[in-house]
Amino acid sequence: MRKHQLTGIRALEGRHVGLALSDGSRIDDCELVSAGRHEVGTLWVFTNGEDTFVPLRDVLDLWEVAPSHAV
């Protein structure tokens, strides 16, 4: 993912997203905490009860998903 693509992605901060990563893995239904500012090279997501920082270079695609609601 290129840094110039972050402008649109920042609109998804605080929402549930899915990520496709360059190693073929995915992170489904995580919360996008921050798409970074200035020279930060990571996305900050909250998934499985933990903060995770994903390098932008590893993100192939990002999309909004409806949040899952556990009963």
Tens of pLDDT, residue by residue over 20-66, are 999 999 999 899 999 877 777 899 999 999 999 999 899 999 999 98
- Break the chain into its structural domains and give their ranges: 3-64
Neighbours of 1 (CB within 10 A): 19
pLDDT at position 43 is: 93
Provide the pLDDT confidence category of residue 4 given band limits of 50, 70 and 90: low
Residue 66 CA to residue 51 CA, distance in Å, equals 20
Neighbours of 39 (CB within 10 A): 6
User: Looking at domain 3-64, which CATH architecture does it have?
Assistant: Roll (2.30)
Strands 50-55 and 59-64: unpaired
Neighbours of 44 (CB within 10 A): 16
- The whole model's pTM is what? 0.81
Is residue 9 over pLDDT 90?
no
For 70, residues 6+ apart whose C-beta sits below 8 A from its C-beta are none
